[in-house]
Structure 1
Amino acid sequence: MNDAARLTAWVRGRVQGVGFRWFTRANALEIGGLTGFALNLDDGRVQIVAEGPRENCHRLLEWLRSDDTPGRVDGVTEIWDTPRGGYEGFAIR
């Protein structure tokens, strides 16, 4: 169950200008074992790519859907894939 996975999530709501990417990175680092990035998109969403143990990716996704995030999350869309690698740490883009 703890095989490696790649989570790509798009978070919509009031998620730009509220520290959302910073808190996402902090949470990914706290969970541990995750690499990837958080990026503001032109349409107001934030895109998150996280690679690492599947269970850790699920924990990050649960946090994205929780009431613990900054701003206001109206919804999260996610897709799962196999890791592609190439990330060092977890970046804010």
Structure 2
Amino acid sequence: MSDSSRARAHVYVSGHVQGVYYRATTRDTARDLGVDGWVKNLSDGRVEAVFEGPRDDVESMVQWCHDGSPMASVDDVDVTYEDPRGETGFRVER
């Protein structure tokens, strides 16, 4: 796979997205798709995440963020595409 087929999306998710298993469900979904990166809660109530991997799978994760975990209520997803940085694995950061 060439580097041009890898994508990196940096997302900020706002709404009722903390305390509703959003990070854990994001991690599980990313791992199921084989997407690398991380997810964490921010002090302002948003969730921040980075997804890196095959372009279609990264786009699937970005789309998934609009719904998120079953108990989440997402108001907005702000996405910035960046050059891949070689993330490996997917983790929840604290």
Cα distance, 1:30 vs. partner?
Answer: 1.1
Find out whether 1:61 has 2:62 as its counterpart: yes
> Aligned residue for 2:92?
92
In the alignment, the residues of structure 1 paired with residue 61 and residue 39 of structure 2 have an alpha-carbon distance, to the nearest angstrom, of: 12
Cα distance, 1:68 vs. partner?
Answer: 5.5
Matches within 5 A, 1:1-93: 3-32=5-34, 34-66=35-67, 69-85=70-86, 87-93=87-93
Moved more, 2-11 or 66-75: 66-75
In the alignment, the residues of structure 1 paired with residue 44 and residue 19 of structure 2 have an alpha-carbon distance, to the nearest angstrom, of: 13
Which runs of 5 or more residues in structure 1 are unaligned? Answer: none
* Structure 1 residues 57 and 78, CA gap change in structure 2 (3 angstroms): same
In the alignment, the residues of structure 1 paired with residue 74 and residue 60 of structure 2 have an alpha-carbon distance, to the nearest angstrom, of: 16
Moved more, 15-24 or 61-70: 61-70
CA RMSD of aligned residues (A): 1.6
Aligned length: 90
In the alignment, the residues of structure 2 paired with residue 58 and residue 39 of structure 1 have an alpha-carbon distance, to the nearest angstrom, of: 19
Cα distance, 1:70 vs. partner?
Answer: 3.3
Cα distance, 1:88 vs. partner?
Answer: 3.0
CA contact (8 A) 1:6 1:80 kept: yes
Which runs of 5 or more residues in structure 2 are unaligned? Answer: none
CA contact (8 A) 1:63 1:69 kept: no
Which secondary structure does the structure 2 equivalent of 1:11 belong to?
strand
Cα deviation digits, residues 5-61 of structure 1 (max 9, x gap): 1100000001011110000001101112x1110010011000010111111000001
